[in-house]
Each structure stands twice: as structure tokens, then as C-alpha cells.
Amino acid sequence: MRKFIFDEKYIDTLQNFGIEYIDRNDLSVFMYDNGDIVCQENRFIGYFLICVAGHGRSYVNERNGKSLILNIFKKGYVIGDYELIMNFATMTTVIADSEMICISLPLTVYRDYLLSNNAFLRKVSQILANKLYASLQHSAASRLMPLEYRLCVHLLKVSNHGTFDARLTDTADMLGTSYRHLLRTIKSLTTKRILVKNKSGYQIDIPRLHKHIEQF
């Protein structure tokens, strides 16, 4: 992770959260590389983070050594919402799946201010609702829909300018399937010209992908 001074190009994000009057000297910009751990479960994070670029995922570790992925983090999402409100250690681990940039607010300085800011709390409530809805959709799809459908929806969420470059082992975990089954499903999508292999991963034909999802 690399730390930078706050950049005024993110002022629109502050305004969107109702926190544009915070002292800029207290703000930082954190840049995470693909694979970096943003926060770890059962540890205090110390910051409230607003994602302004890139994407990542949150998961919990089970006693049997396996991981359960809960959500995809993307631009506009926040990290530390539950921890801010409840003042608990983080309940999940968040890892960056691309270069991920976040605005950072120190909770030791701004916890009381954030909890008393109605505009901020309304925005965070909307994000929490979206996370819950996405989690419910993922849970229902994983039980009722075939892997090909779930992979197509996942591709829309994590597409990086039309490119799918995530690690396939992580994708298999996210979709609750085996690595071999995932490879067979990717091969099916390449046969249908929805995916095209390239040096960085797979190029996604977004219009074909949308049409294919509608067919399920």
C-alpha cells in the first residue's frame, strides 16, 4: 500500500458523502496494488475508506481453512462502515483485485463527526443496502442458477474496461465452484465469442455478454 496526500480531484466524492468541509490535512489517499490486503478480519482498521477507483472483494475465513467471499468492492463503496458504527474490529478481510484507490479518514479524529453527520449517514445507509441486496442476489444465484449465468454476472461486476484479469482460483472460490468447472465454463464462453483470451486475461464482448444473460 502507498500513501499520498489528498488530491482535490476527489472533492466531488467528499461532497457526495456530505464531508467536503473536513480539513484536507487529515485526509490521505491510499493506493493498493492487486493482491494487497486492505483490512483483515478481527483487527481494528483505524480508518474509514471510500473506494474511488478499482475493485476488490471481502471474505471471511472458515474453521476448515476455506474462505467465503461476501461482496465485491468497487468505486463508491466504503470499507469500515460497520466498524465505524459499532466500534468493533473488522469482521471481514478485504483484498484488492486490481489497483485500488481509497480516500482515508482517520476514525480516531472523525468518528464522532461522522456519526453525527446526517448526510453522511444517509449515504452510508444506501451503500449498506446495496451491499445487502448484492449479497442476497449472489446467495440466491449460487443456489438456483447454473455456473455460466453466475460467471456472466460476475464478469459484469469485475470488468476492468472490458477486460477480465482476476485470478481464476479466486474467481472459483467467489462463485462456489471448482477450478476445473470454472475452466470448462470459460471455454464455453470463449466458444460463444463472449470471451477472447489475451495477454492480460480475457477481453469481454459486453453486448454479447448482456444478450447471453438475458437468455437464462
Structural domain that includes position 127: 2-140
* Residue indicated by cell numbers 478499482: 54
Calpha distance 147→164 (Å, rounded) = 17
- The reply to whether 83 and 170 lie within a common domain is no
Residue 197, pLDDT above cutoff 80 = yes
CA atoms lying within 13 Å on the CB side of residue 83: 22
Nearest to 25 by CA among 106, 120, 131: 106
- The reply to whether 72 and 98 lie within a common domain is yes
Q: Which of 140, 166, 181 is the last residue of a domain?
A: 140
Least confident of 3-7, 89-93, 210-214: 89-93
Alpha helical stretches, state H, the chain: 11-16, 81-86, 107-115, 118-144, 147-158, 168-175, 179-191, 206-214
pLDDT at 62: 65
- The reply to whether 56 and 126 lie within a common domain is yes
C-beta neighbour count of 154 within 10 angstroms: 19
Any idea of the CA torsion for 85, 93, 75, 129, to the nearest 10 degrees?
-50
Given a contact cutoff of 8 angstroms between Cβ atoms, the answer to whether 104 and 27 are in contact is yes
pLDDT at 142: 63
Residue 92, pLDDT above cutoff 80 = yes
CATH code, domain carrying 169 = 1.10.10.10
Q: pLDDT-derived band of residue 66, with 50, 70 and 90 as boundaries?
A: low
Given a contact cutoff of 8 angstroms between Cβ atoms, the answer to whether 38 and 66 are in contact is no
Calpha distance 193→212 (Å, rounded) = 11
- The reply to whether 61 and 26 lie within a common domain is yes
- The reply to whether 92 and 190 lie within a common domain is no
pLDDT at 195: 95
**How many domains does the structure of the chain reveal?**
2
* Residue 52 Cα distances to 30, 96, 121, 186, angstroms: 10, 13, 18, 30
- The reply to whether 105 and 118 lie within a common domain is yes
Q: What is the pLDDT of residues 98-148, one digit of tens each?
A: 899 999 999 989 999 999 999 999 999 998 888 777 777 666 666 678 899
Residues with Cβ within 8 Å of residue 64, at least 6 apart in sequence: none
Calpha distance 13→96 (Å, rounded) = 20
Q: At 175, is the secondary structure helix, strand, or coil?
A: helix
Residue 181, pLDDT above cutoff 80 = yes
Number of residues assigned to the chain = 216
pTM score, whole prediction: 0.72
- The reply to whether 59 and 9 lie within a common domain is yes
Q: Which of 125, 140, 155 is the last residue of a domain?
A: 140
- The reply to whether 27 and 116 lie within a common domain is yes
C-alpha cell at 25: 490535512
C-beta neighbour count of 71 within 10 angstroms: 20
